[in-house]
Amino acid sequence: MANCAFLGLGVMGGPMARHLAEKGHDVTVWNRTPAKAAAWAKSHGKGQAVDSAREAVHTADFVFMCLGDDPDVEAVYADIESDLKRGSILVDHTTGSASLARRLYDQRRARAGQFLDAPVSGGQAGAENGQLTVMVGGDPDAFALAEPVMRAYSKQITLIGPSGQGQLAKSVNQICIAGVVQGVAEGLLFARANGLIEAKVIEAISAGAALSWQMQSRWKTMVEGKFDFGFAVDWMRKDLRIALDAARTSGASTPITALIDQFYADIQSEGHGRWDTSSLISRLNRK
């Protein structure tokens, strides 16, 4: 069993840390709101909470981060860098930029440590159920050591390539999801506008090539105008910003993604940034 620190106990990090503890790993948790870390330790009866990120990491062989955005990762890393154990592996599950991942990789290597960028997909339900998909960038030797530990909360873990490529793969994931959600939204609106019963249409087309997780899992709540499930618009816009920045840097053409990003901006402007990503249909339902 591994000696682990987990930094960041949000809707994703909290369940991920719980799975580590339940699998028998020694887990020390930290959150920027100390009360949340204390509540985590009390509710699970396993692991320990500390008030300082530096205290959490100094004996850990594996340090996991699940934070909000690049500035959060940079701030936490700056705080813990000098306290990270020599030879420890820092695994960043935050969805962030490939450029930051490469910088942190270089900084860890300079201090005889290792770094993996390892963003996840699967949303809150995937975290709760231990069924996340993990896309990893970094060295194979570090991956080989960290992968068995990450199995505690994952159904699939793939080493994509060198440092930064895990983050780039996550951008591919978000680009694909955005396009699929918009397609489902437009299809449902088309069905309604033409007098079709949505449930019958979904029954018919979900047996064919149109099937997707988004269609299967979200069509009914989309029709009902319920958007309190899954990944929030605010976070999707953050992820699409990262993806579009990387697209501009690499010269990749992503016109549909850029358009859908603006659709999500419209939803935010109406005060619905905490709605889930399937709320794209709300724009189409405007009178």
- Residue 91 tokens read as 């695994």
Tell me if 270 sits within 8 A of 286, measured CB to CB.
Answer: no
User: How far is 278 from 281, CA to CA, in rounded Å?
Assistant: 7
DSSP state of 196: -
Please state, rounded to an integer, the average pLDDT across all residues of the chain: 96
Q: How far apart are CA 238 and CA 258, in angstroms?
A: 13
113 pLDDT higher than 60: yes
Q: How does DSSP classify residue 85? A: P
Rounded to 5°, the CA angle 123-136-54 comes to: 85
Tokens encoding 169: 């793969």
Q: Where are the domains of the chain?
A: 3-162, 168-284
Instruction: Give the residue numbers marked as catalytic.
Output: 170
Separation between Cα atoms, residue 280 and residue 34, nearest integer Å: 35
Per-residue pLDDT band at 44 (split at 50, 70, 90): confident
User: Region 12-38: what's the mean pLDDT?
Assistant: 96
How much is the pLDDT for 187?
Answer: 98
- pLDDT per residue as tens digits for the range 48-98: 999 999 999 999 999 999 999 999 999 999 999 999 999 999 999 999 999
Per-residue pLDDT tens over the stretch 177-190: 999 999 999 999 99
Residues 6+ away with beta carbon under 8 Å from 276: 218, 227, 228, 229, 230, 231, 232, 233
Tens-digit pLDDT profile for residues 194-245 = 999 999 999 999 999 999 999 999 999 999 999 998 789 999 999 999 999 9
For residue 28, give both structure tokens: 């020390």
The CA–CA distances, whole Å, from 39 to 36, 49, 125, 128 equal 5, 9, 20, 17
Alpha-carbon span 183 to 259, nearest angstrom: 13
The dihedrals phi and psi of 52, each to the nearest 5 degrees, come to -125, 135
Model confidence at 133, pLDDT cuts 50, 70, 90, reads very high
CATH code reported for the domain at 168-284: 1.10.1040.10
pLDDT over 70, % of the chain: 100
pTM, rounded to two decimals? 0.95
203's CB contacts (< 8 A; 6+ apart) are none
Task: Give CA–CA dist 8/14, Å, rounded.
Answer: 7
CB-based contact 126:154 (threshold 8 Å): no
Q: Is residue 46 predicted with pLDDT exceeding 90?
A: no
Report pLDDT for 275.
97
User: What was the pLDDT predicted at 285?
Assistant: 85
Do 277 and 177 form a contact (C-beta atoms < 8 A)? yes
Please state the rounded mean pLDDT for residues 251-268: 98
Distance of CA 101 to the CA centre of its chain: 15
Question: Residue 141: what pLDDT?
Answer: 98
- The CATH number of the domain covering residues in 3-162: 3.40.50.720
